[in-house]
Amino acid sequence: MEEVSALYPAPPPYYKLFTRENLDKLNVIKASIELENPNKSKDELKNLLNDHPEVKSSSLKFLIPPSVPDRETYHSFGNVWHFQDKFMKLEDAGIQQLYPPPAVVDNGEQDDDNEEIFTQERINELKKFTKSLLLNFLELVGLLRKNPNYVNLKIEQIRLILINLHHLLNSYRLHQSREILIFKIENKINENMKDIELINGTVLKIEQNLKELIEKNVDDKIKSLQITKTNIIQNMDILQTEQDSGNKEREAFERLEKLKDDILSTVE
């Protein structure tokens, strides 16, 4: 029975080397190199670490992260990929380009070097490709009945049209992503503006309520002071009345005492 191959490759076996013991050894070597070469840059220290005898001759070399590739492409799962996202041209893939290249402006550069600018010319080219695709399909049906020997050639022509059509559609992906990003940013700005208006309205209501409370508190204090002043005046009047009444009683008592003294002196 044939073995079923995995969709993704197994993890590299050297991940088992990342033990605490190996990491401690590597850290000790790295610290000694940095201590001996204080003026070296990070790249130079990394090269010295890679060239260290204990690292170079042991499994510790697998614990050092690889350097950043200085190439433009890399291989992954059997395919070649670019480090920088770049819209690949049909000419680079060895396929004939059926639509005209981007227009050239006065400074000698292409109007959309990255093929991301949405233009009316591209829309017209898409319409032409669609009509040409339908026409070639009808011709293919006719060749199947009249001359099947040319069917493969017609299929290749249809394939070329489809590739150009698909490539032209993909040239709008960057433009589409930019427009979607602008749309989302505008929506986010509008949402933030609504939140700001709501917050400002709430702050205004709070300030108004505080103002009303302060005014009400001041009025209550004024009324309380007026009542207190009235009470004080009334109490002072009562005290004055009582004081006047006490003075009259004292004068009468003094007269009686004087009259008593006069009577006693007469009897004697």
**Mean pLDDT rounded to a whole number for the chain:** 77
Q: Which residue has the higher pLDDT, 197 or 171?
A: 197
Identify the pLDDT of residue 90: 81
| Cβ partners under 8 Å of residue 170, min gap 6 | 87
Maximum average pLDDT range among 128-132, 212-216, 219-223, 244-248: 128-132
At 106, the pLDDT band (50, 70, 90 cuts) reads: very low
| Residue 243 pLDDT greater than 90, yes or no | no
Averaged pLDDT, 93-109: 67
Tens digit of pLDDT for each residue in 55-89?
Answer: 877 888 888 888 777 777 887 777 877 777 777 77
| Residue 114 pLDDT greater than 80, yes or no | no
Maximum average pLDDT range among 64-78, 82-96, 137-151, 202-216: 137-151
What's this model's pTM, rounded to 2 decimal places? 0.44
Identify the pLDDT of residue 48: 83
